[in-house]
Structure formats: structure tokens, C-alpha cells
């Protein structure tokens, strides 16, 4: 059924209408596109901005992760796409949406094999090499512990009434359009 194709408790990272109009998505790639832009957890902007740079966030696209680059309150990049409009969709119980500038490309991560940390074949004597701490392990994102249906806006954001051409309306339309397109294609490809 179509409802089974749309996962509950998801966070969508959606490009603007203008960006979507420039992206060519073949019909057989729509689900993969949505999967790359979907996080299997309800995350508000405050949840995302607390993630340190280098955090790996799982997506609904198998073997694809989102890498966080957090350079401060206003500069949060997810796979190279700048988060430009936080908390676009927050009122419903099942979805959160954030506007991004750009398309997130797939970042493949092999979750089963550990990285190969083998050094060169000939190592210098141990006394000549200073001891270094091992690199930190990636941080995996878990669902937030508090389920807030409506989160407060980040400081400095104006959430007052907007004109019809405002970014909030455009990102809401992009989010809605992507979900509707996904539902239509799912119904066409899986009529049962």
C-alpha cells in the first residue's frame, strides 16, 4: 500500500522549488532522491544544530549517510547543502521539514566493514613517533528523547505571517510537492 511507502517519524530535507526545477530526477530515482533527503527520526532545527561536525546521520536510502558540517548557529551543512530554512513543517505528529539550498548528493558509507587503518609496510622506530590519541568514533543519531509536536523557532528567526511569495511558503510547497509526487509514483508503480 502507498501508506507503507511513506515512513512515519521522518525528517525531510527539501530543496527549494527553484532548485527542484533544475534537478533532473528520472522516474525510477524519485524514491532514492527522497531517501537521500530523509532522516528516519523527527529532528527539529535545535536537534540538528547540536550535532557536531563529522556526525554521520542515517537516511532512508540504504548505505547512504548524511555528514554534518556545523560551523555555528547559521552555518549548518548537510552533505554540502546549507540548511537555509529550519522548521518549515513542525505541526504534524509524523514529519519535520527543513529547507536546504542545493541537492544532497549520496555519501556512501559501508556500515559493516571497519576502516582499514593499516600503516605503511615499514614503520619508524617507536621512540621516533609521538603517541597520538585514536580518532573519535562517528556519532550516530538517535531519535530525540522529547517528542515536541511544535518546536520554538531559533533565535533571530521571524515566524510572523508571510506574504505568498515568501521562502516559508515556497519550502512548504516544495515539501508538499515532493510528498505528493512520491505518493503518486508509488501508487502508479505499486497499484495494490
pLDDT in tens, 138-157: 555 555 544 444 455 555 55
> Residue 11 has which C-alpha cell?
525528517
- Distance of alpha carbon 122 from alpha carbon 48, whole angstroms: 43
> Residue 29 has which C-alpha cell?
530515482
pTM score, whole prediction? 0.57
Q: What share of the chain is helix, strand, coil (3-state, %, to 5)?
A: 25, 20, 55
List all residues 6 or more positions away from 181 whose beta carbon is below 8 Å from its beta carbon: 30
Q: What is the pLDDT of residues 112-143, one digit of tens each?
A: 544 444 444 443 344 444 444 454 555 555 55
Domain residue extents for the chain: 1-110+165-192
- Distance of alpha carbon 168 from alpha carbon 87, whole angstroms: 9
- Distance of alpha carbon 154 from alpha carbon 87, whole angstroms: 9
Q: Can you tell me the mean pLDDT for 36-53?
A: 94
Radius of gyration (C-alpha) of the chain in whole angstroms: 20
Task: Specify the CATH number for 1-110+165-192; select among 2.30.180.10, 1.10.8.50, 3.40.120.10, 1.20.120.80.
Answer: 2.30.180.10
Amino acid at each position: 500500500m502507498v501508506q507503507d511507502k511513506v515512513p512515519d517519524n521522518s525528517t525531510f530535507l527539501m530543496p527549494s522549488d527553484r532548485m527542484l526545477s533544475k534537478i533532473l530526477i528520472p522516474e525510477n530515482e524519485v524514491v532514492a532522491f527522497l531517501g537521500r533527503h530523509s532522516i528516519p527520526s523527527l529532528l527539529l532545527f535545535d536537534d540538528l544544530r547540536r550535532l557536531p561536525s563529522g556526525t554521520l546521520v542515517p537516511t532512508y536510502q540504504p548505505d547512504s549517510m548524511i555528514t554534518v558540517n556545523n560551523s555555528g548557529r547559521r552555518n549548518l551543512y548537510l552533505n554540502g547543502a546549507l540548511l537555509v530554512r529550519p522548521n518549515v513543517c513542525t505541526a504534524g505528529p509524523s514529519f519535520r521539514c527543513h529547507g536546504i539550498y542545493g541537492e544532497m548528493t549520496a555519501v556512501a558509507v559501508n556500515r559493516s566493514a571497519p576502516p582499514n587503518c593499516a600503516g605503511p609496510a615499514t614503520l619508524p622506530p617507536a621512540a621516533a613517533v609521538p603517541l597520538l590519541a585514536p580518532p573519535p568514533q562517528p556519532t550516530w543519531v538517535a531519535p530525540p528523547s522529547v517528542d515536541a509536536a511544535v518546536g520554538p523557532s531559533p533565535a533571530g528567526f521571524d515566524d510572523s505571517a508571510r506574504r505568498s511569495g515568501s521562502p516559508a511558503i515556497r519550502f512548504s510547497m516544495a515539501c508538499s510537492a515532493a510528498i505528493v509526487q512520491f505518493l503518486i509514483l508509488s501508487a502508479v508503480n505499486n497499484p495494490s
